[in-house]
Amino acid sequence: MNKPEIEGISRIISCLDKPEFGPAVDTFLRTITPFDMTCVFVFHPRSPPLLMYDGYSSSVSRDALSSYLKGGYLLDPFYVACTAEIPDGLRRMSEIAPDEFFSSDFAASDEVHPCISDESGTLIEEIGYIVTLADGWRATYSLMRNRTAERFSAQEFEALSDLAPLLGTLVRRHADLTSITTAPTRVGEIDSVLEKAFSDVLTPAQFRVVNLILRGHSNQSVAEELHITEGTAKLHRHNAYQRLGVTSQSDLFRMFIDVLEKN
């Protein structure tokens, strides 16, 4: 480890429990490789997310960030990963996202996806450190590059991945000192946005299918997730669309956005 890296770690330690923690981590990670934006969200399966650190650029829409926190996060692959059994470590979003996520409306929405609202436009790539905290909470420390950059190379990703144990320890300590994981969970609120939009109209099976479609799953992926045949998945999708009066995933996403705007 060279002198700048040692100084960077020392700076992070001195910033534990302070607002300067996130910027100090960003500065340290930029000694490894450049990136454009960062953020740290803390997730729990029975609570809306908490924003531990806002390292977005100043041009990111705060309305989009607000919509994300109201319910857009439900469609975020990193939220799903944090509430599933994916182990801690550095992950590419492309590694954990559903098969049709990057062609979904959420992935390109400037209304609910904060980094897409940035003036630099659609992201080239997002990678994130998944860190397990206390009491069922997990954090994602995301690093993002916009369309003016290139994807993180295999060498860059490996170098960043080697830091996962260190970064995880630092994030956990910061979370403990700031008591962020003592925030009360709100049982039942987690699915409230989706339920308000769809559950009164759909059967439980149709609701489960619609939930996955919104997250970017194809019919085949829905079938695999729910352990049903692809034909059954297609039938539930068709019947759900008929009940909701929509004809596409875009129409479905528009309904979801409309509910967020009313919250």
Q: What is the pLDDT of residue 119?
A: 56
Q: Which of 130, 149, 182 is the last residue of a domain?
A: 182
Q: What is the per-residue pLDDT for 90?
A: 98
pLDDT at residue number 248: 92
Give the pTM.
0.90
pLDDT for 259 equals 81
pLDDT at 177: 96
Same domain assignment for residues 151 and 246: no
Q: Are residues 154 and 175 in the same domain?
A: yes
Instruction: Give the CATH number for residue 235.
Output: 1.10.10.10
Show which of 153, 182, 211 is a domain's final residue: 182
* In a shared domain, residues 162 and 206: no
For the chain, the domain total comes to 2
CATH number for the domain including 126? 3.30.450.80
Q: Both 168 and 214 in a single domain? A: no
Q: For residue 237, is it within any domain?
A: yes
End residue of a domain, out of 135, 163, 182: 182
What is the SS3 assignment for the chain? Answer: CCHHHHHHHHHHHHCCCCCCHHHHHHHHHCCCCCCCEEEEEEEECCEEEEEEEEECCCCCCHHHHHHHHHCHHHHCHHHHHHCCCCCCEEEEHHHHCCCCHHHCCHHHCCCCCHHHHCCCCCEEEEEEEEEECCCCCEEEEEEEEECCCCCCCHHHHHHHHCCHHHHHHHHHHHHHHHCHHHCCCCCCCCCHHHHHHHHCCCCHHHHHHHHHHHCCCCHHHHHHHHCCCHHHHHHHHHHHHHHHCCCCHHHHHHHHHHHHHHC
Q: Are residues 136 and 198 in the same domain?
A: no
Low-confidence ranges of the chain (pLDDT < 70): 1, 117-122, 183-192, 263
Whether residue 201 is found in the same domain as residue 237: yes
The parent domain of residue 197 ranges over 192-262
Residue 187 located in a structural domain? no
* pLDDT at residue number 38: 96
> Is 219 inside any structural domain?
yes
pLDDT at 120: 53
pLDDT number for residue 173 = 97
Instruction: Output the pLDDT for position 192.
Output: 66
Indicate if 142 and 44 belong to the same structural domain.
Answer: yes
